Amino acid sequence: MASSGPCVALINGEHCPLAEARVSVLDRGFLFADSVYEVIPVYDGRLFQLQAHLRRLQSSLDGIRLNNPHTDETWSELLNALVRANGSGDLALYLQVTRGAPAKREHRFPQDCRPTVVAFCQPRRNPSDAELEAGVSAIVREDDRWNRCDIKSTSLLPNVLASDEALTAGANEALLCRGDEVVEGASSNLFAVFGDTVVTPPLDHRVLPGITRDWVIGLAAQHAQPVTQRPVSRTELRQASELWLSSSTRELFPVTRLDDEPVGSGRAGTVWHQYRGWIQAALQSAS
Ligand SMILES: Cc1ncc(COP(=O)(O)O)c(C=O)c1O
């Protein structure tokens, strides 16, 4: 069958053209950001780390007291069928579950309202070696998000504003600080290298438990080089020899400029290269 490209959406169990996919204006996802989401990378038609994403989805749903509309088995069937309908290949699959569209707009939870389930795919491009080597730039700013950043909720306005601030400053990511601590990026987790030690901020209510973060920590442990999970201060951030961002769509990306100053050598560092090798080997063996 010819590849149709990523243009098919899933709305409450039904496929439809993405351009025609609609939800009600009364949907609580639209009105209150009363919803949670996941972004799952697809490598050559295979959903990567699906079980880990479904576990985090469950934890986000628990966090907003919304029942999971599907079992893991049904999720797997629905999402794999969506990937096939989108021609497989390298994709980023977006899925969102909202508290549904009741007849009336009011804050309190609706009774007997079916959650809305939406999913669609976008193309995902693997960065070139040259792009990785050059790395990206980041700015540092205050974190003005709520206190449940461990829930992957669609209340993303502070993240969107922080990303826009980064773009306006000619950077790619905003690193967010609470007081003196740097907690994560607007759409990524943070790793910092000090000498031979790789550090990442610990998980708590201020940090999304990134699937890639966890995967990278696991790979490092397999190679007997455990990552240290401890707070990173603003001052330390500027002393790191390497900084990296992790996310499902970007894997592990070097930050080579911070607030217009070079990080370390200003190129991808030696420790990152070592991790990159482990990541490529793991992706190869998973395919
Ligand atoms: C705020 C935030 N932190 C971290 C991440 C990285 O999470 P993951 O590795 O699960 O994509 C994301 C991903 O979008 C994010 O939005």
Active site residues: 152
Ligand 1 atom nearest 56 alpha carbon:
10
- Long-range CB contacts (< 8 A, 24+ apart) of 225-231? 225/198, 227/191, 227/198, 227/199, 227/200, 228/197, 228/198, 228/199, 228/200, 229/199, 229/200, 229/201, 229/202, 229/203, 230/199, 230/201, 230/202, 231/181, 231/201, 231/202
Per DSSP, the three-state class of 242 is strand
Per DSSP, the three-state class of 191 is strand
Q: Which of 160, 188, 250 to mutate to test the pocket of ligand 1 (most atoms within 8 A of CB)?
A: 188
Both 146 and 270 in a single domain?
yes
- DSSP label of 106: -
Ligand 1 atom nearest 189 alpha carbon:
4
The CATH number of the domain holding residue 219 is 3.20.10.10
Both 103 and 233 in a single domain?
no
Q: Is residue 2 part of a domain?
A: no
Which residues sit with their C-beta closer than 6 Å to ligand 1? 39, 159, 184, 187-189, 208, 210-213, 246-248
Torsion angle of C-alpha atoms 133, 127, 143, 94, degrees rounded to 10: -170
The reported pTM is 0.96
Question: Using CA positions, which residue lies closest to atom 1 of ligand 1?
Answer: 187
Percent of the chain with pLDDT over 70: 98
Q: How far is the C-alpha of 102 from the C-alpha of 28, rounded, in Å?
A: 8
The predicted-structure confidence for 191-205, as pLDDT tens digits, reads as follows 999 999 999 999 999
The CATH number of the domain holding residue 67 is 3.30.470.10
- Stated length of the chain: 287
- Domain end call among 123, 150, 169: 123
Question: Using CA positions, which residue lies closest to atom 14 of ligand 1?
Answer: 187
pLDDT of residue 6: 86
Both 144 and 34 in a single domain?
no
Question: Using CA positions, which residue lies closest to atom 5 of ligand 1?
Answer: 188
The predicted-structure confidence for 143-184, as pLDDT tens digits, reads as follows 999 999 999 999 999 999 999 999 999 999 999 999 999 999
Question: Using CA positions, which residue lies closest to atom 15 of ligand 1?
Answer: 187
Query: Whole domain around residue 196: which residue ranges?
Result: 129-286
Determine the distance separating the centroid of ligand 1 and the alpha carbon of 188, expressed in angstroms.
Answer: 4
Residue 220 has pLDDT above 70, yes or no: yes
Per DSSP, the three-state class of 3 is coil
Ligand 1 atom nearest 213 alpha carbon:
9
Percent of the chain with pLDDT over 90: 97
The predicted-structure confidence for 77-119, as pLDDT tens digits, reads as follows 999 999 999 999 999 999 999 999 999 999 999 998 999 999 9
Determine the distance separating the centroid of ligand 1 and the alpha carbon of 107, expressed in angstroms.
Answer: 28
Residue 3 has pLDDT above 70, yes or no: no
- DSSP label of 103: S
Q: Is residue 43 part of a domain?
A: yes
Question: Using CA positions, which residue lies closest to atom 4 of ligand 1?
Answer: 188
Q: Is residue 64 part of a domain?
A: yes
- DSSP label of 219: H
The predicted-structure confidence for 246-255, as pLDDT tens digits, reads as follows 999 999 999 9
Torsion angle of C-alpha atoms 287, 15, 6, 152, degrees rounded to 10: -70
Determine the distance separating the centroid of ligand 1 and the alpha carbon of 187, expressed in angstroms.
Answer: 5
pLDDT of residue 1: 37
- Domain end call among 106, 123, 140: 123
Both 158 and 116 in a single domain?
no
| Structural domain total, the chain | 2
Residue 132 has pLDDT above 70, yes or no: yes
- 58 exposed, middle or buried (CB, 10 Å; 0-12, 13-18, 19+)? middle
Identify the band that residue 286 occupies on the pLDDT scale cut at 50, 70 and 90.
confident
Q: Is residue 3 part of a domain?
A: no
Residue 15: what are its φ and ψ, rounded to 5°?
A: -85, 145
Average pLDDT over residues 226-245: 97
Average pLDDT over residues 62-87: 98
